[in-house]
Amino acid sequence: MSVTRPRSWTIDLGRVFAIGVVVVIHWISVRVTVTDGVLRGEPALHGRPIWALSWLIQVMPLFFLAGGFANTLIVDRWRASGLGYGEYLGPRARRLVTPVLALVAVLAPVIAVLGVYSERTAATAAHVVASPLWFLAVYLMAVAVAPGAVVLHDRAPLLLPLVLLGCSIAVDALRFGGAGRFAEWNLVFVWLFCHQLGVVHARGLLRTVTDAGVLLLAGVGVGLLVVMVGAGPYFPTTLGVADAPVSNLAPPTSAISILAVVQLAVLTWVDRRVGGWEPRRSVRRVITAIVPLLMTIYLWHVPVIAMLTGAATLAPSRLLPDDPQIWWETRPLWILVGGVVLFFVVRVSMRWDAFCARYAARDTTVPAVVGTVLAAWGVYSIWQVGLFPVGAGAALLCVVLGAAVLTSTRRIGATVDKSAAPA
């Protein structure tokens, strides 16, 4: 087994930074107004400077890269322990799935009530609040395959990245050739490629490459992106904006994979500059507290801004101004208020997580795999159809069943009464 790097504060800080960027972008990307009593939403970002900026602030590749780094460390510890696959997957999958139950328990009834008054409003809200869920479905898959991905890297470091990149290019060819139904396959190929770059970084594959070589790699990546976008057929942005509604992100294209390579090169260069940097104790405490909550923050940040927007419809002239300039001037206050509300929502959600943590996760292979597959499929289906109870009933059931299969009835710390056990 190859030796991986120790914990990287740079990676952890990058993960916190990435979630911050995602939250802010989602909170400012749609301008909601009320015109003649009708609620309208339109993209707030537009213009070629935003097109260029989108490539600099697109942090989802970094998010998966950091996840691959972290999962490599976890896989190494698991392999050293000699435990079974279920003991690796069960606790991790359960910890990712249980926050979704709280999300569903709160939002599904709210959307059902909205449906009584307006099915159109309910359907829109259902799709908006479910829009971030693709990430969890894909990340569950990444966690499940991480042991195999790490082992394959140790045997042939470049094989899996090249295969995944080749597959994503093939999907792009089908998509741009008119077979758009295959485009969502790149949710697997592109994001697992980014995750595998995290394994590459954890193993230090670029450690022997000089600074000039690392910067050359970044430059080649940027050059490829210029050709892919300039000569076509790739899209000019990595975000959906008013004047370029189709981007390289939804669903992802191979341009995102190339961007991930650029980010890996930059991250490697930065890591060399900071060396074994360790933040001050107060900063370490903050980072250590936030990192385990990143999935909860991600799941709730869109519902929080949606709920605040819904409340703002009570006074639309003041809180949802028609004037774009006034709307932008009020964004800092909206972000501040949204951050405060999100903080309290996460704090409440932590109580649910603590309750779930009282019960041990399944640690045998079959229940762990079945529960993970059920939950991932359910989450993906909710993302597809929205959180509207009529359309999402089977998907919701899959998530609940997946969480149930992943959770045992044994309480943590409870002792087993052997005298009561069957002979």
pLDDT digit string, tens, across residues 174-197: 999 988 889 999 999 999 999 999
Lowest-pLDDT range, 344-353, 384-393, 395-404? 384-393
Q: Give the mean pLDDT of the chain.
A: 89
Q: DSSP secondary structure string, 209-255?
A: S-HHHHHHHHHHHHHHHHHHHHSSSS-S-SS-BTTB-S-SBTTB-HH
What's the average model confidence in pLDDT over 283-295?
88
Task: Give the separation between CA 304 and CA 297, rounded to whole angstroms.
Answer: 10
* pLDDT at 418 (0 to 100): 36
Task: Give the separation between CA 66 and CA 287, rounded to whole angstroms.
Answer: 14
What's the average model confidence in pLDDT over 155-166?
96
> Rounded to whole angstroms, what are the CA distances from 288 to 65, 72, 112, 139, 292?
19, 18, 37, 21, 7
* pLDDT at 384 (0 to 100): 87
> What 3-state DSSP class applies to 105?
helix
* pLDDT at 389 (0 to 100): 60
Closest CA to 312 of 287, 330, 294: 330
What's the average model confidence in pLDDT over 377-392?
80
| Confidence band for 218, pLDDT divided at 50, 70 and 90 | very high
pLDDT at 118 over 90: no
* pLDDT at 248 (0 to 100): 95
> The tokens of 254 are what?
């191979």
> What 3-state DSSP class applies to 32?
strand
* pLDDT at 3 (0 to 100): 54
| Bond from prior residue into 252 cis (ω within 30 degrees of 0) | no
Q: DSSP secondary structure string, 43-76?
A: E---SHHHHHHHHHH--HHHHHHHHHHHHHHHHH
Question: What digits encode the pLDDT tens for the residues 46-74?
Answer: 999 999 999 999 999 999 999 999 999 99
pLDDT at 298 over 80: yes
Task: Give the separation between CA 222 and CA 418, rounded to whole angstroms.
Answer: 63
Task: Give the separation between CA 150 and CA 403, rounded to whole angstroms.
Answer: 26
> Rounded to whole angstroms, what are the CA distances from 370 to 75, 85, 195, 235, 307?
20, 13, 23, 38, 34
pLDDT at 396 over 70: yes
416: region left, alpha or beta (phi > 0 left; psi from -120 to 50 alpha) = beta
> The tokens of 191 are what?
């994001």
pLDDT at 43 over 50: yes
* pLDDT at 352 (0 to 100): 92
* pLDDT at 206 (0 to 100): 92
Percent of the chain with pLDDT over 90: 64
pLDDT at 423 over 60: no
* pLDDT at 391 (0 to 100): 57
Closest CA to 237 of 247, 224, 249: 247
Task: Give the separation between CA 23 and CA 256, rounded to whole angstroms.
Answer: 19
The top-scoring range by mean pLDDT among 57-61, 231-235, 269-273, 409-413 is 57-61
- pTM of the entire structure? 0.91
- Please give the residue that has the higher pLDDT: either 9 or 172: 172
Backbone φ and ψ of 39, nearest 5°: -80, 125
CA 233, 59, 135 angle in degrees (round to 5)?
A: 90
* pLDDT at 388 (0 to 100): 67
| Confidence band for 317, pLDDT divided at 50, 70 and 90 | confident
